[in-house]
Amino acid sequence: MPDTVAEVRLLDSGYSREVRSLLYHAYRHEPTFAYLFDADRPGFDQRVRATVRELVNRHFLEDLPAIGLLIEERLVGVALIAPPQRRLDITESWAWRMRMLLTTGLGCTRRYLDYHAAVLGCLPPGPYHILPLLGVHPEFQGKRLGERLLDALHAWCAEDGGSQGLVLDTGNARYLEFYQRHGYQELGEVALGPIREHVLFHPNPRPEASLAGGG
């Protein structure tokens, strides 16, 4: 089957509603979110939806970059990007924390903040881009769109000479091999109850000059 043709586009806040819907559908069955937001307790879907809404709204309010994949103007894949110098802004916002408390409760908010801090704790010193959220809509998975999205992300981040690469994390074992196959290296592992969250790093290409021999 030929690859599905998708357009890569840098998104602005006008796509906020579509981004929230896509990421909700992408994350509602993820094991990490099932643990963080207590899937066995009533209201889980609402907590996931509220969390995605607050993260996406804050992302665009901070004017942070987002890359989307579109097929015939429908958003089918998206990645939110936190540049090195601004990667902590969202969870340090008291307004964001208060909205999370009101929509997901104290326990889930605390669990999310602990998870976020543990992931950042795996990073060595240095400037990196971080992906807070990324996903392909479930209706469009299995069409190599995840690879298309990663290729676009790697190319975009490589243009920033002040960044060493791209960091993401996953608690879904079936994605781990996929990321490793695309050049990601494991930086560390975070225990989230029964979930093992893997923190992964994709280095930016080294400048051509560094490939030349010295002497």
- Does any domain span residue 127? yes
> Helical H runs in the chain?
16-27, 31-36, 44-61, 89-92, 94-104, 106-121, 145-158, 173-181
Whether 1 shows a pLDDT value over 70: the answer reads no
CA-CA distance, 210 to 204, in Å (whole number)?
13
pLDDT at 86: 52
- Does any domain span residue 2? no
Domain CATH number, residue 14: 3.40.630.30
What is the arithmetic mean of pLDDT over 173-197? 93
pLDDT at 46: 94
Dihedral of the CA atoms 37, 38, 44, 45 (nearest 10)? 50
Tell me 125's DSSP state: S
Residue 33: phi, psi to the nearest 5? -70, -35
Residue 183: phi, psi to the nearest 5? 95, 10
**pLDDT confidence band for 209 (50 / 70 / 90):** very low
pLDDT at 124: 77
- Does any domain span residue 181? yes
Q: Cα 187 to chain center, whole Å?
A: 16
Report the relative pairing of strands 129-136 and 165-170 from DSSP bridges.
parallel
List Cα–Cα distances, 185 to 57, 58, 89, 201, in angstroms. 30, 29, 25, 5
User: Total domain count for the chain?
Assistant: 1
Whether 113 shows a pLDDT value over 60: the answer reads yes
pLDDT at 195: 93
- Does any domain span residue 214? no
- Does any domain span residue 167? yes
Question: pTM for the full model?
Answer: 0.87
Range of the domain at 64: 7-208
What is the arithmetic mean of pLDDT over 156-161? 88
pLDDT at 210: 41
CA-CA distance, 190 to 192, in Å (whole number)?
6
- Does any domain span residue 93? yes
Tens digit of each residue's pLDDT (9 = 90 or more) over 32-91? 999 999 999 999 999 999 999 989 998 999 899 999 999 999 999 999 998 876 545 455
**pLDDT confidence band for 103 (50 / 70 / 90):** confident
Whether 215 shows a pLDDT value over 90: the answer reads no
Question: Mean pLDDT in the chain?
Answer: 87
**pLDDT confidence band for 126 (50 / 70 / 90):** confident
- Does any domain span residue 124? yes
- Does any domain span residue 27? yes
CA-CA distance, 22 to 49, in Å (whole number)?
10
pLDDT at 214: 45
pLDDT at 3: 59
